[in-house]
Amino acid sequence: MSVKNTLIMPTFSMNVGGKLISINKPMIMGIINVTPDSFYADSRYETQDLVLKKAAQMLEEGADFIDIGGQSTRSGARLLSAKEERERIIPAIKALLKKYPQALLSIDTYHSEVAEAAIEHGAVIINDISAGEMDDKMIPLAAKLKAPYIAMHMKGSPANMQKNPEYNNVVQEVFDYFIHKSFECREAGIKDLIIDPGFGFGKTLAHNYQLLNHLQFFHQLSCPLLIGMSRKSMIYKLLKIDPKEALNGSSIVNLLAIQQGAQILRVHDVKPAKELLEIWQFTMENA
């Protein structure tokens, strides 16, 4: 007797830098932080040489996108001005695309000014942890630039988001948030909207796993679903380890996510994620 996987993964297409990309199987977004204070020390690449070396590795290992961030948004982190952030990330974007012009770069920022500069210099996706809540110019800008826009749910701000976050029903409240946010983005003219439930951003350990257990619920929004759980506290606090030891746990939660139809995995470790997807895909094809 065989048991078939009954989940049908939603398929989407996006205009990414003038190229039509079909999301008909899970994709991988690698993380490069041009910052000295990201929560996971091994994801910090403060020089252009380190950025280029890491980008080369990620592209070789099978990353579909690379997400460039210029400031830490971990709980309690100091928030940078747009000027400071731009001075960190624009040289990295220029150097990376000069050497790897085929790379599809996402800019991880909540500053519209930074997003605009990044797109001007070759980035093709905007990844906004605040979904336009921290800069009301961001959503109109994404629409004007015709860039795919990743809107993430965050309760509060990085300064206070982990100070006793409360929900009556975290799944329903995050879902309701995205109903309104997707309407706002569509009304502004954004064609390619990607949603991110915001694991670790204003959620307790229990909240994170409640969201993980109900990811299929979010397919009702008819948007690609991006999941960012790589090496986060929902893994290392549960297992009583530190982020450096959280690769195995990251693979487990990523597998649970793709089994519920997640389309994009945002990860620090591309090779393990790629191997996970290859095994999962082969299993589905041979069920």
Three-state DSSP state, 230: coil
Q: Which residues pair with 22 in a beta bridge?
A: 13
125-128 and 149-152: which strand pairing?
Answer: parallel
**Nearest 5°: phi and psi at 208?**
-60, -45
Does the active-site annotation cover 266? yes
Does the active-site annotation cover 94? no
Catalytic residue among 86, 232, 237, 240: 232
> How many other C-beta atoms lie within 10 A of the C-beta of residue 177?
18
Residue type, position 283, single letter: T
Catalytic residue among 88, 266, 271, 274: 266
- First-to-last C-alpha distance (Å) of the chain: 10
Nearest to 188 by CA among 217, 149, 222, 239: 149
Nearest to 200 by CA among 233, 157, 242, 249: 233
Nearest to 142 by CA among 123, 117, 116: 116
Residues near 9 by Cβ (< 8 Å), separated by ≥ 6? 24, 25, 26, 261, 263
Please give the positions annotated as active site.
232, 266
